[in-house]
Structure 1
Amino acid sequence: MVSAPDLVPELVTDELDLIRRAVPVARADLLDLGCGDGAMARRLAATGARVTAVEVNAASIAPDPAVTVVEGRAEALPLADAGFDAVLMLKSLHHVPVARMEAGLREVARVLRPGGLLFCWEPVFAGPFNDIMRLFHDEQPQRAAALAALHRIIAEGTLEFRDERLFRTRIGFADFADFDRRMLHLPDLPQPVEGALLDQVRQAWDRIAAPRGGQFERLMRLTLARRP
């Protein structure tokens, strides 16, 4: 069920709580696909789940005996068929190259057990925060492509639709220096944020972020699908 547009989406303050509401994680075999620094994988393992974490650069993930770390890409997972009860893609689908998104989702279906769930948690490119981000990191095309690819995979029957709805999350920055440190040096930026571009971003911060104390709400979309 998609959230009705006239209703205020629920505020999520801890993604793990939302995951546990949707996925029976205890003693489950979970794949955290595109796990970033592995923080959520470690938290999931602490619940009693058996967690495998996949990242392009596995060496960047702090080792944890409770988490199996595998280096790989969504479109060519080095994992056996039907090995997982759930696959979690937490803000990672839109980082898959657009031309490989459908292949990545077919790989998700392959490694899921029959009846296994895909938990796909993607940011919606809208709102004041993204009015600043689009100046130097406009991900709107990638996020739209990710949603379209997911819906095509569901339409073709590779995965079965279970639910889709919007949620709110919060992100805050102490000041522009904090925003600079956390957002202006991301590894996938298309160009360095410096010179005239940095001035433009700072002006947008002063206009958009400063009046709200550097605090933002962001829309997130959760799509749940299962392997037939």
Structure 2
Amino acid sequence: MKMKLLETNITQTINEDYLIETLNLDNKTMLELGCGKAIMTRKIANNGINRKVIACEVDENQHKLNLALNEKNIEFKLCGAENIDVEDNSIDIVFMFKSFHHIPAEFMNKALDEIKRVLKPSGFAYISEPLHQGAQNELVAMFHNEEEVRKKAFEAIKNSVDTNKFKLFKEIFFQTEVYYENFNDFENKQMNVTYNEVSITDELKSKIKEKFDSYNNGDEITLLKPFRVDILQKIV
């Protein structure tokens, strides 16, 4: 199977929660890298039987907040994907949701080595990445353009398959719906977030609003956000 950076003909519109639950996660020890606020972590840990999730985050403040959640099925750790504080051959499935491209490019290959190290023989890595395409992406890219880092992330993942670290078990393209009541709603959800360290000038904000308004005359709108999931299997 040839891996693809982008897919223009995406026909599957789903919530990613559904896709994850098609996997056999019961009685598994799982690892999530870059867990953020642990929203997905908690869903995975609590939606089945006998599940354990080790959830790693590099942001110390967020890690402290996660520890305060006191979730019985989740063990929170402060570490990055390039230096995972987990034993060899101990994890059934590794998850990364929209986080692989946040790894510094020089550490991406090391992160994949670490993922292979911690996975059990024939274990799986589920890596979900947003695509640099579509109306939602065009808006966000006006102030937070991730095209290059997403390309580098894809190249690192593809290289791990080409060099037989992993076998590509499946590549899935899908899109999710993102609803905005109006431009203010878009601004609150996308422009006023912690990952956006860019200073948005009044001039740029005006251009972004003009672009948003061009989609549906500034009224409420549902945009589609496309993703690629690479499910990799550890080659022993």
TM-score past 0.5 threshold: yes
Counterpart check, 1:219 vs 2:221: no
Seen in structure 2, the aligned counterparts of structure 1 residues 55 and 209 have a Cα distance that, compared at 3 Å, is farther
What SS does the corresponding residue of 2:213 show, helix, strand or coil? Answer: helix
Aligned CA RMSD, in angstroms, stands at 2.0
Structure 1 residue corresponding to 2:119, chosen from 94, 105, 112: 112
Q: Secondary structure at the match of 1:10?
A: coil
Percent of matched pairs sharing the same residue: 24
**Structure 1 partner of 2:20:** 19
Q: Which runs of 5+ in 2 are unaligned?
A: none
* 1:102 CA displacement: 1.2
Q: For residues 108 and 209 of structure 1, what CA distance do their matches in structure 2 show?
A: 43
User: How many residues are aligned here?
Assistant: 226
> C-alpha displacement at 1:190, in angstroms?
3.9
Q: TM-score, normalised by structure 2?
A: 0.89
SS in 2 for 1:18: helix
Give the partner amino acid of 1:120. Answer: I
Q: In the alignment, which residue of structure 1 is the partner of 2:144?
A: 137
Deviation by residue 1:151-170 (Cα, 9 ceiling, x = unmatched)? 00111111111111211211
| Shift, 1:65, TM fit | 2.2
Q: Which residue of 1 aligns with 2:201?
A: 194
Q: Tell me which residue corresponds to 1:160.
A: 167
Structure-1 separation of matches of 2:64 and 2:234: 31
Determine the structure 1 residue equivalent to 2:64.
Answer: 59
1:211 CA drift (Å) = 6.0
Tell me: CA distance 1:75–1:210, structure 2 relative to 1, closer, same or farther (3 Å).
farther
Contact 1:118/1:226 (CA < 8 Å) preserved in 2?
yes
Given that 2:183 and 2:218 are in contact with CA atoms closer than 8 Å, whether structure 1 keeps it comes out as no
State whether residues 209 and 215 of structure 1, in contact with CA within 8 Å, keep that contact through their aligned partners in structure 2.
no
1:40 maps to 40
Q: Structure 2: which amino acid aligns with 1:33? A: L
Do the aligned partners of residues 202 and 153 (structure 1) sit closer, same or farther apart at CA in structure 2, a change above 3 Å counting?
same
CA shift in 2, pair 1:212/1:141, >3 Å: farther
Normalising by structure 1, what TM-score?
0.92
